[in-house]
Copies of this chain bind each other. A is one copy, B any other.
């Protein structure tokens, strides 16, 4: 047998996971109680140190490496096999506001009713701790890890990972791996695991119209221009009421979904009713069916995420706003590029007569996806089936975004999702939580995948 990896005793691994559950939930609480809000620059460096300490405690060589705007924690641990598994996670969280909607303080982790609450407890601190718990259990069962494992844990995921593309490119050798487990993943409403093979890209911009050097009395509305109107007219030149984006060349690089991808989307459960109930709406956007809206994930979108101009307080104030602001994000599909899209929007606004509107590029990510026939994808599907007792759903692309593209381009690794998440966990919202039973199942899946991956 010599250097050959031992064959895992799954029951023993699962027992280790169960037996050390409280230990790892304690570690999770410590991590949650440490605020790390990337959009507000709160606690990032301190949290990076806490995370590096946790990795060291788990037997990894960990170091805090500089990156923009917040440090990356890099860690690695050798194993008996010669293959390398890379885990991508993040230690930053969304802002906790609005605070008044939380039932317990967001940065004081609390267990109740089989759940555990706190900002970032699922996204993404719980996923990280779950992976450490899985690796710990495998190592205790097998006596050693069956493969090399590396972690890249960044601090800017919630602000579109501005430093990750450059970090991955510059540290290609260090991060070299055979496969990658993404930061997110778990089960759907039907408790079946979902494995996601791709993420949309994003282009995030802020538009600012400045019409006057100061607000004017609105009795002058026939005399001087209004920044709010100018911005509104610019915005409607970007997208029509049928959701069609009107920017010249916007769709040039869109690759339509393949038949296989459409078939995967069609096989996903219909969540139309649940979505409508969850958001208090009668119909999905444009009256689409669930099946239609699932296929639309391969179409890019244009959202207005924020608007501000003039007087926003109670009652009336009669002014012509000097300035107006809109925040927009464009979710991009293969092979759109966010910098190219931003340039096309700028050119569009100039062509439409909106030269005065400034477009600031606040960040972007390219879309990225892994082919479904990659052996690592199949390994993830098989192990999910073993742990959950049901075949996982497989989605070719999700609506959200992440820095998956540089991992695909520079490291050439297949990227899959798996983990502890479930759809009602209020990620990004008040009362974010994990379900402890799903924490255990997600951890078991990770452990099973590490063992299976180690066997080659």
Complex-state Cα separation, A221 to B400, whole angstroms: 10
Most chain B beta-carbon contacts within 10 A, residue among A285, A318, A400: A318
Nearest B-chain residue to A97, judged by Cβ: B313
Give the CA-CA distance A401 to B7 in the complex, in Å: 85
A192 at the interface (CB under 8 A from B): no
CB-CB under 8 A for A317 and B306, given A219-B200, A221-B399: yes
Is A3 on the interface with B (CB-CB < 8 A)? no
**Interface residue? A359 (CB, 8 A):** no
CB of A191, distance to nearest CB on chain B (Å): 21
Interface residues of A, count at CB 8 A: 80
Are A159 and B315 in contact (CB-based, < 8 A)?
yes
* Interface secondary structure of A, over-half rule: mixed
Kindly list chain B residues whose C-beta atoms are within 8 Å of the C-beta of A212: 279-281
Q: Chain A 74-105, CB within 8 Å of chain B: the 1/0 string?
A: 00000000000000000000010000000000
Separation of A206 and B232 alpha carbons in the complex (Å) = 16
Kindly name the residue among A213, A228, A398, A400 whose own CB sees the greatest number of chain B CB atoms within 10 A.
A228
Chain B residues near A318: list those with CB within 8 A.
Answer: 202, 204, 303, 305, 329, 401
A312 to chain B, nearest CB (A): 4
Given the known A-B contacts A216-B279, A224-B275, A281-B212, are A306 and B315 also in contact in the complex, defined by CB atoms under 8 Å? no
Given that A221-B331, A304-B309 are known contacts, is A363 also in contact with B316, CB under 8 Å in the complex?
A: yes
Q: Answer yes or no: A128 CB below 8 A from chain B CBs.
A: no
State whether A399 and B219 are in contact (beta carbons under 8 Å apart), knowing that A232-B304, A312-B307 are contacts in the complex: yes
A379 at the interface (CB under 8 A from B): no
Q: Quick check: which of A253-261, A292-300, A386-394, A444-452 contacts chain B, the rest being far away? A: A292-300
Nearest opposing residue in chain B for A160, CB measure: B316
Highest count of chain B CB atoms <10 Å: which of A241, A306, A308, A427: A306
Question: Which chain A residues (323-371) contact chain B, with CB distance < 8 Å?
Answer: 324-327, 329, 331, 362-363
The reply to whether A281 and B224 contact each other, CB–CB distance below 8 Å, is yes
Query: CA separation between A226 and B39, bound complex, in Å?
Result: 23
- The 8 Å CB contact of A225, one of B281, B296, B400, is B281
Q: List 3 A-B pairs, minimum CB-CB distance, nearest first.
A: A213-B280, A219-B399, A219-B400
Q: Which residues of A contact B (CB under 8 A)?
A: 39, 95, 159-160, 200, 202, 204, 206, 211-214, 216-226, 228-229, 231-233, 235-236, 239, 241, 243, 275, 279-281, 284-285, 288, 293, 296-297, 299, 301-312, 314-322, 324-327, 329, 331, 362-363, 398-401, 427-429
28 A-B pairs with CB atoms under 8 Å apart are: A39-B315, A160-B316, A206-B316, A212-B279, A216-B279, A218-B301, A219-B399, A219-B400, A221-B331, A222-B243, A222-B297, A222-B399, A224-B281, A226-B304, A228-B326, A229-B239, A229-B304, A231-B307, A236-B236, A305-B310, A305-B316, A305-B320, A305-B321, A306-B309, A306-B310, A307-B321, A307-B324, A318-B401
